Every structure is written in C-alpha cells, then in structure tokens.
Amino acid sequence: MNKMLASSLAVPAVDPIELQIIRQRLIAIPNLIEKNIERTAFSLLVQEYKDYAVGFVDARGQLVTQSRYSLPAFVANALGLGVRSGLAAFGEKAMRDGDVFFVSDAEVLGGHLNDICMFTPIWIEGTLIGFFAVIVHWIDVGGATAGSCLAPTATELSQEGIQYPVMRLVQEGRRLDEIFRLIAKNTRFPRLLMGDVEAQLGGCAMGRELVREVVAQHGQAGILAAIEAMRADSSQNMARAIRAVPPGTYTASSFFDDDGVALDQPIKVNVKVVADGETLTIDFSDVSDQVPGPFNSGRDGGAVATARMALKFLLSSSTPVNEGEFDNVRVEIPDGKFLSAGPEAAHGSGPNTHASVVDTILRAFHEALPDMVPAGHHGIFGTHTITGVNERTGERFLCMDAMSGGWGAFANSDGPGPFRSTAHGDVRDVPVEIQEALYPYRIETKRLREDSGGPGRFRGGLGVEKVYRFLQPLTLMNKLDRTKCPPWGLVGGGPGKPAGGEVIRASGERHPLRKGILAVGKDDVLVISSGGGGGHGPASERTADRLNADVLEGYVTVEGALSDYGIVLKNGADKGQGELPPA
Amino acid sequence: MDQVGPDVTADNHSRRYLIAADTGGTFTDLAVFDTQTGETRFGKTLTTYGDLVAGVIAGLEDTKVRLDQAAIFKHGTTHVINAFIQRQGARTALVTTKGFRDVLEIARGNRPETFNLRYRRQECLVPRRLRFEVAERIEGKGEVVQPLDRKDVERLIPVLRAAGVEAIAVSLLNSYVNPIHEEEVARMLSEALPHVYVTSGTRLSREWMEYERTSTAVGNAFVGARMSEYIAGFFSELNDRDFRGRFYLSSSSGGVITAEDAIAQPIALVESGPVGGCIGAAAYAAALELPRIVAFDMGGTTAKCALVEDGRFDVVSTYWVGGYERGFPIRTPVLDIVEVGAGGGSVAWVDENKRMRLGPKSAGSDPGPIAFGRGGIEPTVTDANVVLGRIGSDSFMGGRLLLDVESAKTCISEQLAGPLGYSGPDAVDRVSQGILDLANVTMAGAIKEITVERGRDIRDYQLFVFGGGGPLFAAELARDLGIEEVVVPPHPGAFSSLGMLMTEARRDAARTFLSALSPASIVGAQSQFEVMERELRDSMSAEFDVSRICYLREADMNYVGQSHTVRVSLPPELSVGAVRSAFEREYLARYGHSNEGMEVTFVALRAGGVVPTARPSLEAVKWVGEVNAEPGPSFYRQIYFARAKARLTTPVYRRSDLPIGAAIEGPAVVEEYSSTTVIGAGDRLVVGKLGELRITCAINRRTERSTHE
C-alpha cells in the first residue's frame, strides 16, 4: 500500500471525473478485443469454450483490467505472470515497440502447456505504459495424446507437449517466420492452431493501438493516474469486504477419486482460511502431495489461482479483475503439493481440479458468511474427448464435449443449474446437432437427471445424463471424478448424487467409466451423468408446496420423495406429465 | 385477414393518407403522410399499457385524419416484446424427440456472469411438466434412423387437451436438415387440436443448434396464441372507424409484413418499434448519398445505435429476449440495433471510493429527472443538460413542461460536487459537464464496440441522430468518436414513426447449407436460392405487387473448421471466384486478416424478398414550418460549454425559422418541439437540401481538461 501511495504522489493530480473517463475507456478495451478474438479464432475451444483471457497489464506486470467473459482460471494471475517473466528474461529496455512475446513455461504460469500467454509492450514517447496480453488455450501442442493436456495418464510434463520459454514471435513488427514454423510443426492441428495464433496476435496488436489512442486523448499522466486509481480502488473494495469477514480460522475438506495413475488413491483437498480483519490467508498446507498423474498445477496456476477465484466469487463478483484486489490476500502452501507442483510434474489436468478446490474454499467460509455460501456444486470439468479419423471424410477430428451439472442450494433458494463448474464462465456446451453433423457418433439422450439434486429445505440443482452411441471405432478420453465425494449439503441438507458413467459394449458387456483412454467400437454406448448440487437445510423442512411442485415437474420422482424426503405421494396424479402414459 | 383484400390499391384517389403508428415504451407516436398535399402530420400520446390500441386511436385523433381516407396503416408494436417481458403468453407445451425433453432447460450450460454464485437464467417459458417426447430419430445428415411413432403422437393428444394448453411448439432433433417428422407431428396436432396454436421450429428457422431452434419455436408459440386476438382487436377498432385500406405490421427485419404473417410468425415483431428510426435513417442516407452512417437514437430510457452502409443496414439472425446474460435466444431476422446506454434518465452517484459513477440505475420516466418535478431526487443526465442551460427551462416540449433548474442544481451540488471535493462558483457546472462526459464515454465505448466487432472504423462514418436526446449529444459524441459530420433529420423527436412510413414489404428465408465452396456447391446454392425466392414470391403475391420484387442473397460462410460465420452479401451471378472474393472482402473488413489458400465453406443461405410500397418522398417532409427570410436567433441563453470551460452567451434558434442553406456558427442552440440541437464553438451548422441539419464538428482529439499542465 505505502509503495503504491508513494508512486501515485509522483503523478500530477488529474481531475477526478477525467480519471473516471480514462478508467471507463481502459475497461472497454479488453472487452472489445475479446469480441474480436472470439470471432476470429478457429478452434471451438476459443469460440465456444472461451478458453482465453484478454487484459491490460501495467509496466511492472500487474494486471489493470481484464475482459469480462474470460475463463475464471486466468483471473488476475496468468497475464501478469507471463508479462513478468518477459520483464525478468529480457529487461524492459530490450522489449521494443512492435515486439510480441509468448510463453507457456510451466515454471512461470503453473498451468498446462496448452495455455499460451502472448503479450506486447506499449511504448509511448520513450515510456513503457504497460502491456497488452492475451492468453489462449492452444488446441494441441504435441505430446502423447491429441489435445496434449487431455492425456489422462501422463506422468511427466514432457509427455504433454512442447514447452515454450518466454520468446519473441514478432520482432519490432517483423514476423519471425521460423518461430511460426516451429509452432506449426509441433501441433497435430496446424490449420486450426495457426488460425488461433493469428487471432491472438491480432488481439495483442489491436489492444496496443487502442491503449495508444487513450494516451493520445488523455496524456501519459492521465493514464498512469488512472492505473493507480484503479488499483487503489480495487484494493480498498477488497479490504472492506475482508473486514466484514468475522475473524477466525475456518476449515473444509473434500477429495478427488484419484489421479488416473495411482488408482484409488484419493487426492485430499484440506483447506484452512484464516481471517484477522485485515488480511485473509488461504492455507493449503494440508492438501495432498504432488501426484504421479497429470492433476498437478504449479503454485501460481494452482494454489494462487484457486484462492483468487474463490475470493472473486465470494467478495468481489461484479468488478473487472485487478491485481490490487489481492493486496491483502496471502496464500500458504509448501512446495511439492498438487497445487504447488514442480515443473517436471504432469500438469495437463491441473485445471480440472480448480472447480472443487474453489468450492472447498467457499465451504470453509460457510461458518463465517453463512448466507453467502451455497452447498457444493458438481465440481468437475465434466469433459470427455472423442477423437479418431472420421471414416466418412478421412479427416482426423477431436471433439471435447462436456457435462453441465447441478449447483448447490443457498439458505434461501434452490440450487441453480445445470451449469458448467466454478472454473467456467460463459462456456457453452457443443450443441448435439453440430456434433452429429460433423462427427461419427450420435447422442441419444441429453436430459436432466431426476432425483440428483441434494435434498433439503432448499434442494440442490439437477445434474444431466447423456447417452452416446458410437458409429465407428473411436477413442474416448475421460477424466471423470468426484464419484466418491458427492457435492455436499449444508446445515443438514443432503448431498447431491455424484457423477458416474459406464460404457456398454455392443456385446452387452459393461465397463464402469473411470479416468483413462478407452477404445470404443461401433455401437458401443457411453452413458455419463453429472452430479447434482447439495441441498441446504434439513429435507424434512422442505415445504409441501415445493416438494409437490418438484414431483409435478419431475425434478424429484415419487420414489425419490419417499427415499429422500420420507413423503408418500400418490402415484399418477402427482407425477410429471412429460412422461407419456403407458401405451 | 379478409378485411384487407388485394383489390384495394394504395393510390386510390379517395384514400389519400399513409399512416404509421408506433407504440413505444413511453409514447405512442403517429406519423401521417398526405399523398395529395405532401404534408406530414404527427401525433403523440402516452402508451396505454393495458390497451395499446387505445393509445393509437387517441394519437390518431390528434392528427385529425379520417381513417376512411387512409390507404395504408403501418403498425409498429411492443405487444410481442411486452408479452415476453411480462410473461403474459399462452399456456404452452413443447413436443420434442425422445431423450431431449430438457434441451430448453439445460440450454448451453454457460454462465455469462462469471463470478455470480447465484446466477440463474430466467425460467423457461414451458415448464418441465409440459414438455413431451415422441419416439423418432433423424441423424445428422438427414437420414431417418427411427421412423416417427404416430401412436406416441396420438397418445399425446388427450394429455395436451387435459393439460389445457393453448399453444404447442414442435421442435425435433436434426429437423433443420430434414423436417419431415416435425411437419408430420405439427400436422397431426393441428388437426386433432384445431383451437390450439401450433408452431414447428423449422418453419421459423432452418438452421442448426437444437437449443436455439427449440427456444425459437417455444417463444413463437408462447406469443402466437394471443397475436390473432391482438390483431383482430386492432382491426375491429380500425374498422369501426371505416378503415378500408391495407394494414401491415412493422417487422424486426425492417420491412412490413401482413397480418397473416404476423400471426404465423409473431416473433418477427419482437423489435417492431425501434426499427422505424433505422429505416428512416437509411432512407435519408440514400437520398443524401451518405455512404456510411451511425444511426443514433437517444430517448429517456435507452440509447441505441445501428450502422447503415450505402443506405442498407445489417440484419442479424439471433435476438436475445431479455438480454444475452439471462434471457433466451430466438432465431428471427432483426435489424442490427444495439443498446449503447441508458438515455437521459441515467443516474449519477458517488461510490464508496469517492468516484463519480453513472448508471446502471435509471430514473426512467417515473419518477424521471429532478428537473421534471415529478418526484425525482437523484441527478440524471437530463438534469445535467438542464443545469448547463443546454435544455431551455421554459422551452422544453414547446413549453408544456416547465423545468425546475434550481432543484437540479441543489441536488448536483449536494450529492455530487460536495462529496467529490469540487468547490468554487463553477463547481456545479463542472460536475454537470462531468456527467455528460461520462455519458458520452459510455455511449462512445459501446458504439466503438459494435464497430470494432464488425471490423469497421468509426471515423469513416457520419453520425445521424434522432430521438429526444440524440441531437443534444450529437456534437460531443461525434467529437469523442472522431467523427466529422453530424446529421439531424427533420422531426428528430418523432423520427421513428416517420421512418416507419418509409418501410417496404419484406420477407426473409434461410437454410443451413453445409457445403464447401466448389462448382458443385454453387449449383446447389443457386437452386436453394431459387427455391427460397419462389417461396418468398408466392407468400407475398396475395398481398403485394410482386412484379416489383427485389431479392437479396446472403450467405453465412467461414473457413473450414471455424464455428462462427461471416454474413456475406452475394453477387447476382454466383461463381466460385465471385463468392470467394465477396467472402474474403467481408472477412478482411471484419477481422483485418484473411487466410488465402484456406478452404471456404457455406454454412447457411439467406434470401430476402423486398417489394416497394407507397411512401412519402423526403422532399415533401423537409419543410418544417414557415420560412423566415432573415433567420436570426429568437433569444440568447447562458450555456456552459466544456471546451470553453465557461458559460457563453449563446443564440437560440427555432428550427422552423431556418431555411435551406442557412448557416450558423457555434456556439448555438436550435430548438424544436421535443428536441434540442446544441453545437459548440468552432462547430458549424448548415441546413441541408432536405431540411436536415448538418453539423461539421471542430475535431479536437484531446479533451479540454488535458493533463499536460
């Protein structure tokens, strides 16, 4: 704080309303670029998954403002980390006007190798104003498995693709062709990837020009003052929110099934939150060690990213992310945990753990902020990847489909959903009709999973069930999790039904689904279910009206009403009508 | 409707009037054009929510036009959007493919409010108990995998009847590629339930994505059942007054459609009202040869804008009812109008960090701005305009509403200037100007967003402004956007009904067409277009003179592998080379790069049929009143100007005093009923050949309160 005040004193006073105007202009820029990237990108991951983030970062590598629909995992961390690695490697002076850098180094970003942070310095009249940065999930960067990070059983980072240390892609406006060729040679999908790279590069350049325009209008002093004011405001907003958390030590726990390699070895998520009125400490000292499988993240991509995500959800949900929000947040974790793994560990599925880790942090806050914290949500990415060579077209394809699931109930409302997890924002499912038009399988069912919402005074949101039928031999990669630790209820509410699935072979043979790679054949069927959200308050306190409505709509079956709520409802009249009467 | 027979001709001598009535959120506006004298008259009344017709009839009485002398009555209505927003539609059921009952509720699983734990979408229009499945299956290429089980449909009929449904949406998986089952289900249900309104998704949209198409069908069914009542009610009121002309409704894609079409496809009216202004803007742009304009419409509760190029506007294919964040999509062609601000009612306030903020809260029209004296206590954008003298305190609405300047000043001083630490004699003026600056930057930001998103450079455009607040902001907004020229048309306060008078008849059709660009796909596209054009012509022939029909051909295209598409206007002669270059031109314009050598593919084909209808000439609406040979200011007023940072003695002109060719140097104000145009020092205003005000802005890219001191 003091350092910040000192630097803001060095800036001449700027009219307070003009400051607001500059702020408004800066906030608008990443949102503009975001729209452009989404439209210009080639891969569905960018367009439909929103697996990117766009931001303006100051000259020290501190995030000033970030696009509104960015994936939560990139919150206030990845862009600044990338820029700071460039500053450390090259020094400010060597980062010239017109340069564009990129980095995926696991030691820097702590994420999987598909996440590439690209950034460009903004020089104006000899002053480095800041950087414009865009992080995009590249569809494939080589490694053992198509999609790179998708390998469910990788045990080393080097199996997950090429790793780019921070380096130039464009030098003073000149494209370095050999680097473009290097990138194109290290992917299974050069056409898609190079399209995305162009979109990302275009976004950096456009952002740089738009920031220049703001400086041209308001001058350097104005923009620097606005950057400081944005940081100070963010810091103060969060400080006020932290003061409202009753001091104390709060804990919560959950666990993952396993890492796909050391089977049936649960990964523990034991979280401790310490509030003292001034700072919040998120302590991960007691989480599981780094695991052999790919469910690891580095400290910044794991422990720090999840702590920040949880605090955005809980205390600062409506403002654009700014580094200042985390001035009074401490993250404790020793090296070598699965959220602070070494750079040699497999990182591919690290982000898959984020949703449940965030949810566990939120759960720890429940005692302190009981009205703000919902019961547990389904908590996983729910992705399964179907890949192969389409016999009809001869083309290799990869479709990453995903499951939405139920979210937890609150003290005063049923759980929402089905939605993707807390690790996703504006991420859309791939429509069934697009998949069936392009890929050699059919989706026979996509429906709400009845009785999956945790019972309670307020019921958890429902999970989803999907059934796929494969029309030719294909490969299924899957990272199903949380089948043993269901989404928790709160204050006596019951847990939601956990995720699960099975493959039914054309022969009739059944395999329960677990993490891994599976060859599937013609007419094999995949049945997969996502978890429901946890309930809130005792089931016995659910009002008759609400329970009746649930049964009428078919969210709860007559059998479920009996087993979960102990209520006998007469069959027929109360049953949902969406089911046809028997023939 | 049989009342509108094709024998009625628009130029029948005894029927001399063209009438346009636009029921908006606050006001119902009417414009009447007399084809014999060339005179245009306007009527304005408060919109009556319970009974939209009553407001129209009251407004019509204002204009003293007899309906038996009307040739054409064009109606823009908020009925459809109101029914959605107030959830006052029919009891609706959905029939879908087995296994997909919950498509409507699962939607796409996304949460556009990323960090909001309590985020949820608005509830579905059809509850789960009214969503039914039938056994049938068509696969992704259109082949029937499982024939429709008619017994399933038959079993449904008594269930639907018992449930008392008034409307049914039928939307089956993959029907966009083969609608045979969907049509059969719809036919069976219509026959068995003749009093129920039945819609099938593919009649509305032949494009892929099951959630969006199902949502479209459901939306149409939900509002459709009541549409015929509304239109019949409207009609009987008109008939009671001996109306024997043609009756059309203004559709969201910028044309008029018949009552039958409106009843079959009510979602086509979702933005029925707001398109009027854009059509008027396009008509002026064409007549004045303005190649690229931003049509900017600012009223009391919203500011909207649209891009018009070469006299044409873009039409988008998906509209989000209730907004993208929480609403639901409907696939219907809608003129590409984007909301860019909250209008004059936006409230300014000071946040916990002592920063001035503007909106999102709006005082709207109730209680309205402080200066209106109707109970408003929070300072708004309009109050800032009043305090600064930009809006005349005794000339607003032609003096019908006297403004309370002192209360507005006091509130701005106490609620804003004090807490923000402004002092001195000009503190209130500086803060008021700050409110306008913030409003400007917010709107300018949103306008830039829509231009950048479309790959356009805003500086290549002229700003065309209307609505009560548009001309007040125009010069400052243009300066902020780097635009050199502003155009204010005649009657900016009543412009949307004026624009509606100019609408032509238009119908649209579209098909998903997944085919890589090749000589074979060109042949396929050509025949698809011919089929669609034949359908358009046939569907319009009963009501319009289709010998004058013009077709528009567009395609949604992309590079193979992309999922988003670019809308491309196709050349009349289709060929691989011509289509590819049209695509690349559009792609390059939009994204700044194209990818030579990459395969290009069609995703959807879109055809539009446009038939001209009788409309007023712009020449005829140019005269806004008596011409004064020596135009001079009516009086002078002290007005604060940002660039001067001071109040200047400013001449105030009446617009009706300004002849064509008149030139005024800023600072100056031009007042007319329901609108005020303000120009600053260095700006120059000239009255153009159609009576439009043309303002050349003194461009100063650096704001006055430069930080270089």
Tens of pLDDT, residue by residue over A376-385, are 999 998 889 9
Residue A578 has pLDDT above 80, yes or no: no
Q: CA-CA distance, A130 to B262, in Å (whole number)?
A: 54
Which residue range is the domain that position A174 belongs to? 3-239
Min mean pLDDT across B380-394, B495-509, B555-569, B587-601 is at B587-601
Q: A402 touching B, CB under 8 A?
A: yes
Closest-CA distance, B6 to chain A, in angstroms, reads: 42
pLDDT band at B26 (very low <50, low <70, confident <90, very high): low
Pick the most confident of A34-38, B174-178, B441-445: B174-178
pLDDT in tens, A535-574: 999 999 999 999 999 999 999 999 999 999 998 876 544 4
Whether the CB of A48 is below 8 Å from some CB of chain B: the reply is yes
Statement to judge: residues A235 and A378 lie in one domain: no
**Residues of A whose CB is below 8 A from B357:** 20
- In this predicted structure, the answer to whether residue B675 has a pLDDT above a threshold of 80 is yes
Q: Report whether pLDDT(A38) > 80.
A: no
Among candidates B154, B221, B224, B222, which has minimal Cα distance to B189? B154
CA of B290, closest CA in chain A: separation in Å? 27
Cβ-defined contact of B112 to A426 (cutoff 8 Å)? yes
- The pLDDT confidence band at residue A583, using thresholds 50, 70 and 90, is very low
Domain boundary among A239, A266, A282: A239
Using DSSP bridges, classify how beta strands A167-171 and A63-66 pair: parallel, antiparallel or unpaired. Answer: unpaired
- Sign of torsion over alpha carbons B27, B33, B37, B38: positive
Q: Is the pLDDT of residue B524 over 60?
A: yes
Q: Does A225 touch chain B (CB under 8 A)?
A: yes
Answer yes or no: is pLDDT of B671 > 80: yes
- CA–CA distance, B19 with B234 (Å, rounded to integer): 14
Q: By the CB < 8 Å criterion, does A16 face chain B?
A: yes
**Domain ends where: A239, A261, A282?**
A239
Cα(first)–Cα(last) distance of chain A, in Å? 73
Q: Is A248 within the bounds of a domain?
A: no
Most confident of A74-78, A187-191, A204-208: A204-208
Residues B219, B330: contact at Cβ < 8 Å? yes
Interface with B, mutate which of A50, A365, A432 (most B CBs under 10 A): A432
Tell me the two tokens of residue B360.
């999102």
Q: Which of the two residues, B10 and A439, has the higher pLDDT score?
A: A439
CB of A404 within 8 Å of any CB in chain B?
yes
Task: Note the pLDDT of residue B13.
Answer: 54
How do residues B687-700 score in pLDDT, each as one tens digit? 999 999 999 998 75
Strands B550-559 and B600-611: antiparallel
Q: Which of B176, B210, B708 sits opposite A219 (nearest CB)?
A: B708
Smallest Cα distance from B642 to chain A, Å? 12
pLDDT at residue A484, rounded to an integer? 96
pLDDT band at B558 (very low <50, low <70, confident <90, very high): confident
Say if CB B309 and CB B457 are below 8 A apart. no
What pLDDT shows up at residue A293? 95
Chain B, 645-664: which have a CB under 8 Å from a chain A CB?
none
- Report pLDDT for B623: 57
Structure tokens given for A109: 């970003």
- Specify the range with the lowest mean pLDDT, choosing from A31-40, B171-180, B387-396, B467-476: A31-40
Supply the pLDDT for residue B111.
Answer: 93
Check CB contact under 8 Å for B110 and A47. Answer: no
> DSSP H helical segments within B485-617, as ranges?
495-501, 519-541, 576-591
Query: Average pLDDT of B24-49?
Result: 79
Computed from CA positions of residues B334, B335, B336, B337, in that sequence, does the dihedral angle turn out positive or negative? negative
Give the nearest partner residue to B441 out of A24, A362, A444, using CB atoms.
A24
Mean pLDDT of A135-143: 93
User: Rounded CA gap, A503 and A383, in Å?
Assistant: 16
- Whether B111 and chain A come into contact, CB under 8 Å, resolves to yes
- Residue with the bigger pLDDT between A578 and B549: it is B549
Which parts of B605-683 fold into alpha helices (H)? 618-621
Mean pLDDT estimate for chain B: 87
Tell me: pLDDT of B572 over 70: yes
Asked if B361 has any chain A CB less than 8 Å from its own CB, the reply is no
What's the pLDDT score for residue A571?
Answer: 53
Question: Which pLDDT score, from 0 to 100, does residue B133 have?
Answer: 97
Q: Among A171-180, B234-243, B367-376, B551-560, name the most confident range.
A: A171-180
Of the candidates B355, B357, B707, the beta carbon closest to that of A218 is on B707
Per-residue pLDDT of B5-23, as tens digits, reads 333 344 445 788 999 998 8
Find, among A385, A396, A360, A44, the residue nearest to A196 by Cα: A44
Least confident of A210-219, A390-399, B628-637: B628-637
B449/A28 Cβ within 8 A: yes
Enumerate the residues of chain B whose CB falls inside 8 A of the CB of residue A398. Answer: none
Q: Is the pLDDT of residue B624 over 70?
A: no
Sorted by where each starts, the structural domains of chain B and their CATH numbers stand as 93-220 (3.40.1360), 504-611 (3.30.1490)
Does residue A212 lie in a domain region? Answer: yes
Which residue from A20, A192, A446 is facing B103, i.e. has the nearest CB?
A446
Say yes or no: A569 contacts chain B, CB-CB below 8 A. Answer: no
A-interface mutation test, from B139, B436, B707, B708, most A Cβ less than 10 A away? B707
Judged by a CB distance cut-off of 8 A, whether residue B129 touches chain A is yes
Helix (H) or strand (E) holding B512: strand B504-516
Which residue of B111, B441, B567 to mutate against A (max A Cβ within 10 Å)? B111
Cβ neighbours of A42 in B, within 8 Å:
559, 561-562
In a domain, A262, yes or no: no
- Spatial contact of B503 and B250, defined as CB atoms under 8 Å apart: yes
A22 CA to chain B: closest CA distance, Å?
9
What pLDDT band is residue B622 in, cutting at 50, 70 and 90?
low
Which H/E stretch holds residue A4?
Answer: helix A2-9
Which of A490, A491, A413, A489 minimizes the C-alpha distance to A458? A413
Lowest mean per-residue pLDDT among A66-80, A430-444, B104-118: A66-80
**Rounded to 5 degrees, what are φ and ψ at A553?**
-80, -15
**The most confident of A384-388, B211-215, B503-507, B586-590, by mean pLDDT:** B211-215
Question: Which of the residues B447, B563, B599, B704 would you substitute to probe the A interface, choosing the one with the greatest number of A C-beta atoms within 10 Å?
Answer: B563
Give residue A400's pLDDT band: very low, low, confident or very high (50, 70, 90): confident
Confidence (pLDDT) at A548: 94
Which has more pLDDT, B294 or B612?
B294
Residue A109, classified by CB atoms within 10 Å of its CB into exposed (0-12), middle (13-18) or buried (19+), is buried
Percent of chain B with pLDDT over 90: 53
Domain count, chain A: 2
Asked if B117 is an interface residue toward chain A (Cβ–Cβ < 8 A), one would say: yes
The three-class DSSP label of residue B490 is coil
Of the candidates A239, A259, A281, which is a domain's last residue?
A: A239
Q: B16 to chain A, minimum CA–CA distance in Å?
A: 49
Q: What's the mean pLDDT in B611-637?
A: 74
How confident is the model at residue A581, as a pLDDT?
42
pTM: 0.89
pLDDT, greater one: B396 or A228: A228
Tell whether A33 is covered by a domain: yes
Please tell me if residue A558 touches chain B, with a CB cutoff of 8 Å: no
Looking at the domain assignment, is residue A408 inside a domain?
Answer: yes
Closest-CA distance, A540 to chain B, in angstroms, reads: 24
Read off the pLDDT band of A217 (50, 70, 90): confident
Q: Is residue A18 part of a domain?
A: yes
pLDDT at A149 over 60: yes
Q: A160 pLDDT band (50/70/90 cuts)?
A: very high
Range B279-286 average pLDDT: 92
In A48-155, which ranges are continuous DSSP H helix? 78-90, 106-109
Predicted pLDDT at B595:
72
Higher local confidence (pLDDT), B339 or B295:
B295
Bridge partners, residue A65, by sequence: A56
Three-state DSSP state, A421 = coil
pLDDT at B7: 32
Sort out which chain A residues have CB atoms less than 8 A from B703's CB and list them.
18, 21, 217-218
- For residue B682, pLDDT beyond 60: yes
Q: What is the pLDDT of residue B673?
A: 79
Kindly state the average pLDDT of the residues A208-235: 93
Quickly state the pLDDT bin for B307 (edges 50, 70, 90): very high
Q: For residue range A260-270, what is the model confidence (pLDDT) as tens digits?
A: 899 889 999 99
Contact B117, A374 (CB under 8 A): yes
Residue A304 located in a structural domain: no
**According to the model, what pLDDT value does residue A580 have?**
44
Q: Does residue A279 sit within a domain?
A: no
Rounded mean pLDDT of A491-514? Answer: 96
